[in-house]
A and B are shown apart, each in its own frame.
Chain A
Amino acid sequence: MTHSLTKKYKDFLALDSVSLEIREGDIYGLIGRNGAGKTTLFKCVMGLAKITAGAVEINGAKNGLNSARRQIGFMINPSFFPYLDPRQNLEYLARVKGVRKSGEVERLLKLVGLHGVKKPFKAFSLGMKQRLGIAGALLGSPPIVVLDEPINGLDPEGIADMRAVIKNTNRETGTTFIVSSHILSELDLVATRFGFIEAGVLVRDITHKDLHEQTKKSLIIEVNDVARAQKLLKTKLNISAEVSDNQLFLKSHLDQPQQIAKTLVGGGLELYRLQRQEMTLEEYFMKLVGGHND
């Protein structure tokens, strides 16, 4: 949790009174453009940047945060010793963190698909570095994990793997994740809450469910007789539908797809498609921050 967190670099206001609450068990997706303040926020939480004003609270602790930070695993630009292989780098971190659980390093290497890799970190691809960074963050099963752009450089299979790692770990251990990513569609698949940050300001904090309520745009209906369907919806449900390209578009009653389907089928129509159209997370973000979607 942050309380009116403010961070200034000389005259540049990187974070402007950010108050953020992340609940236990959340997968919190932090969304923002480059330079919006995501990494600065992480740096302040992790004690890597001095806070100009406000406070950070971790599990109820506002002072003596070093001990609270030991409950956080994090990955921000994964960096390891270049001459050590993945197992050695994790063994090093395990010693730093005092993790004595037997087999923990091997478990994590298997989890991220680096088991048996003997080459040193300096010979890693970006994707392998990301995988090792995630393993480092999960080392010792911390209750909170911060991941900054965890799927950067991963191939599609790697992205799916990491999504599974985050979701499974969250489900099995209740680990709280705070994840930032530029790939918003991917974040939409894992996050349970979202924070939108722009120019150092937290412009929206919203649950996944509420977000999707807000991103509903229309219902698209395809039937064998569009004109009859339009008339039926008007007379039976008092719904005005627009017709375009042999499809019906509904701007209201978006929460009643079952009733609409029942009415159409009950009226003797063949229903081919009934789909709720939503804004993508990217469209929502652009609308929120006033950007341009190219």
Chain B
Amino acid sequence: MINYLRAEIYRLSRKKSLFVFLALAALGYLLVAVMRSGSLGAESILGDASFFILLPPVVGGVLFAAIYTDDLGSKNLSTLVGFGLSKVKIVIAKLVLALLLTALIFGLVPLLSYVFYAVLGFPASGETLGAIYLSLLKYYLLSVVFMALGAVVVYGIQRSAASIVTYVVLAFGVVGQLLGLLLGADFVNDFLPNATSYLASNLASQLYTALAGGDGSVLGAGIGLAIYLAAALVVSAVVFNKKEMEF
């Protein structure tokens, strides 16, 4: 599995289009930061954090495609299985890669902001930077949960377009909102308890609130999100094992 992770890191580090996209996204982020307010100050960096909501669908989507769906176009999953890699190890390694790469890329965003504002003469305090990273954690966790769920389609259907659409629909909150309406509806709650608090987006918000010193349990929300990842991992492995590989 380590060999495979090394190979994937090598591949992604040579994917020029990924770096071009990230550079353009960073540039766009800074341009919007400048255009957003006429007056830049020490608190602007906190305001910019509201743009983090775009990280899961936009940056997360590109990372999802780079990590997962490149394999489909190049039929690399068949190559890997043919070379004797177990399907379970492939599924686990991909999720580990998604966790690491998303953490790395997302983690750079506050640093980018910090440097930008520091150059303008408004260096953020450690406390401010901590608050930004806490806010980022929520979107990071949501992104990796959505990637893990999107991966089920990658392994089960093995079609790039369907996989990316699934991820984007999840990341824009479409599925979450529909499920929220359904699970919170009176006719459902007549025979089922209201389960909206167990939706991934709500669990991520609960975790953020609890870590920020508010109500809620860090452990409970953390376990809830971990169950999402574990369940997606298990389902991915099962559907992948059942799937015939195509050349």
Interface segment, one of A70-78, A263-271, A276-284: A70-78
Kindly identify which residue among B3, B17, B76, B82 contacts A74, using a CB–CB cutoff of 8 Å.
B82
Interface residues of B in 168-204 (CB under 8 A from A): none
Q: Is the CB of A70 within 8 A of B14?
A: no
Q: Beyond A83-B15, A84-B14, is A96–B247 a contact (Cβ under 8 Å)?
A: no
* B-chain residues with CB within 8 Å of residue A91 when the two chains form the complex: 10
* A-chain residues with CB within 8 Å of residue B247 when the two chains form the complex: 39, 43, 48, 76-77, 79
* A-B pair number, CB within 8 angstroms: 84
**0/1 string, A94-117, CB within 8 A of B gives 1:** 011110000000000000000000
Interface residues of A in 37-72 (CB under 8 A from B): 39, 43, 46-50, 65-70, 72
Q: Is the CB of B83 within 8 A of A70?
A: yes
Q: Is the CB of B15 within 8 A of A92?
A: no
Q: Is the CB of B244 within 8 A of A67?
A: no
* Complex alpha-carbon distance, A79 and B73, angstroms: 9
Q: Is the CB of A95 within 8 A of B84?
A: no
Kindly identify which residue among B10, B74, B244 contacts A79, using a CB–CB cutoff of 8 Å.
B74
Kindly identify which residue among B17, B74, B83, B245 contacts A96, using a CB–CB cutoff of 8 Å.
B83
Q: Beyond A81-B11, A92-B10, is A97–B83 a contact (Cβ under 8 Å)?
A: yes
* Complex alpha-carbon distance, A67 and B85, angstroms: 8
* B-chain residues with CB within 8 Å of residue A136 when the two chains form the complex: 79
* Complex alpha-carbon distance, A88 and B14, angstroms: 8
* A-chain residues with CB within 8 Å of residue B85 when the two chains form the complex: 66, 96
Kindly identify which residue among A70, A83, A92 contacts B17, using a CB–CB cutoff of 8 Å.
A83
Q: Tell yes or no: A28 within 8 A of B by CB.
A: no
Smallest beta-carbon distance A48→chain B, Å: 4
Kindly identify which residue among A39, A68, A79 contacts B84, using a CB–CB cutoff of 8 Å.
A68
Instruction: Write the chain B residue with the least CB distance to A58.
Output: B84
* B-chain residues with CB within 8 Å of residue A67 when the two chains form the complex: 84
* B-chain residues with CB within 8 Å of residue A47 when the two chains form the complex: 81-82, 84
* Complex alpha-carbon distance, A74 and B84, angstroms: 11
* A-chain residues with CB within 8 Å of residue B6 when the two chains form the complex: 95
Q: Is the CB of A70 within 8 A of B74?
A: no
Closest 8 CB pairs of A and B: A95-B7, A69-B84, A79-B75, A48-B245, A70-B84, A46-B82, A77-B247, A66-B84
